[in-house]
Chains A and B, each alone.
Chain A
């Protein structure tokens, strides 16, 4: 089975721009979660989607948004980029059935975003 895939792998943007990152979960997985990793804050939860519905959201400003499509693929969008948004953005998938809490999340390789 193919793992979680994320595109693009690397991205350079300038302040004020917006960016869209894409994530394709493991086949059969219906839950997709997004995390931000920075040297200062570590790994922080952004949001989680299941069956096109956001079930959980972390403590991030409204500039961070996401969505999930009917095929479970997910996108996250960051508008009005700031220097502090430079990070590794990781997507994870889980849940072949009910995708309840506590299921193992399998991570993709991440997208490295640099904001200049």
Chain B
């Protein structure tokens, strides 16, 4: 069975703090894809990153960075120097190679206070 766990329901930080959102996934497939999406209050899911199971390189995009570790089945997301505009719900999702659906975690609500 495939599953995504985001254990942190809600995180509150003060602006400029660094924050890490955890994501742990379960799958027996060797080919799979991991995603992060941001959902602001408007409701639309905004794509942030896609990673396949064969690429364990960490990625940095501006203030965002992602740490993919197959050994611990984790795909964590770090925001450096957080800003109020980062406040949103963040979802981690899994797609296995033989399916067309995304399996989402329950999401982490991030509140960045000024």
A110 — nearest CB in chain B belongs to which residue? B43
Chain A, 77-116, contact with B by CB distance < 8 Å: what is the 0/1 string?
0000000000010101000000101101111111010000
A68 CB within 8 Å of chain B: no
Residues of B within 8 A of A43 (CB): 91, 102, 104, 107
Assess A110 versus B44: contact at CB under 8 Å? Given A55-B100, A101-B95, A101-B100: yes
Counting chain A CB atoms within 10 Å of each CB, the highest count among B35, B44, B95, B107 belongs to B44
The count of chain B contact residues (Cβ–Cβ below 8 Å) is: 27
Q: Tally A residues with Cβ within 8 Å of B.
A: 26
Is B45 in the interface zone, CB < 8 Å from A? Answer: yes
Q: Are B43 and A106 in contact (CB under 8 A)?
A: no
Is chain A's interface secondary structure helix, strand, loop, or mixed overall? strand
Could you mark each residue 24-66 of chain B with 1 if its beta carbon is under 8 Å from any beta carbon of chain A, else 0?
0000000111010100001111110010100000000000000
The closest CB in chain A to the CB of B106 belongs to: A42
Q: Quick check: A105 and B44 within 8 Å, CB to CB?
A: no
Give every chain A residue within 8 A of B97 (Cβ-Cβ): 101-102
Given A31-B100, A56-B101, A102-B52: A107 and B95 interface contact (C-beta under 8 Å): no
Q: Are A108 and B44 in contact (CB under 8 A)?
A: yes
Interface residues of A (CB under 8 A from B): 31, 33, 35, 42-45, 48, 50, 55-56, 58, 88, 90, 92, 99, 101-102, 104-110, 112
Interface residues of B (CB under 8 A from A): 31-33, 35, 37, 42-47, 50, 52, 91, 95-107
